[in-house]
A = this chain, B = another copy of it.
Amino acid sequence: MKFETDEFVADRIKKLGEKVTTDIFSSTSPTFNLPVRAASNIHYNKDDGLLYLGTNRSTRDFFNFAHTRKFMQTLLVASKCKELIENQKTASIRELYYELKHNIPGTKENTFEGQDESDPLIEDLETMTDSLREQLHLKADSSGILFGKLIIEDMGDRIDCSKLGKSGLAIPSIVDDYKFLQCDADYVLVVETKAMVDRLVEEKFHLENNAILVGLGGQAARGARRLIKLLNERLKLPVYVFTDGDPWGYYIYSVVKTGSMNLAYESKRLATPNCRFLGMTMDDVDNFSLHKVTEHLKDVDKKRINQLLSYEWFKKPHWVKELKAMLSKGIRIEQQALASKSLEFVAKEYLPQKIAKKDFID
The distance in angstroms between the C-alpha atoms of A338 and B344, with both chains bound, is 48
Other-chain contact of A165, B157, B164, B166, B195 (Cβ < 8 Å): B157
* A95 and B336 form a contact (CB under 8 A): yes
* A170 and B145 form a contact (CB under 8 A): yes
Residues of B within 8 A of A336 (CB): 92, 94-95, 98
A45: CB under 8 A from chain B? no
Residues of B within 8 A of A23 (CB): none
* A170 and B168 form a contact (CB under 8 A): yes
The distance in angstroms between the C-alpha atoms of A223 and B51, with both chains bound, is 39
The distance in angstroms between the C-alpha atoms of A127 and B102, with both chains bound, is 51
The distance in angstroms between the C-alpha atoms of A170 and B173, with both chains bound, is 14
* A199 and B169 form a contact (CB under 8 A): no
A37: CB under 8 A from chain B? no
* A101 and B292 form a contact (CB under 8 A): yes
Q: How far is the CB of A349 from chain B (nearest CB, A)?
A: 15
Contact status of A159 and B154, CB under 8 A, knowing A98-B336, A101-B292, A292-B101: no
Q: How far is the CB of A110 from chain B (nearest CB, A)?
A: 7
Q: How far is the CB of A336 from chain B (nearest CB, A)?
A: 5
Q: How far is the CB of A123 from chain B (nearest CB, A)?
A: 18
* B145 and A155 form a contact (CB under 8 A): no
Contact status of A170 and B172, CB under 8 A, knowing A163-B158, A199-B95: no
A184: CB under 8 A from chain B? no
Known: A92-B198, A153-B165, A154-B166. 12 other contacts (CB 8 A): A89-B202, A91-B199, A92-B336, A94-B334, A99-B340, A102-B292, A142-B198, A159-B164, A164-B169, A167-B171, A169-B169, A173-B198
Binding site for B on A (CB under 8 A): 1, 84, 89-92, 94-96, 98-99, 101-103, 110, 139, 141-142, 145, 152-159, 163-174, 194-195, 198-199, 202, 292-293, 334, 336-340, 343-344
30 contacts between A and B (CB under 8 A): A84-B343, A89-B344, A90-B202, A94-B195, A94-B334, A95-B195, A95-B336, A95-B339, A95-B343, A98-B293, A98-B338, A98-B340, A99-B340, A101-B292, A101-B340, A139-B198, A145-B170, A153-B165, A154-B164, A154-B165, A155-B165, A156-B165, A157-B163, A157-B164, A157-B165, A159-B164, A159-B167, A166-B174, A169-B169, A172-B198
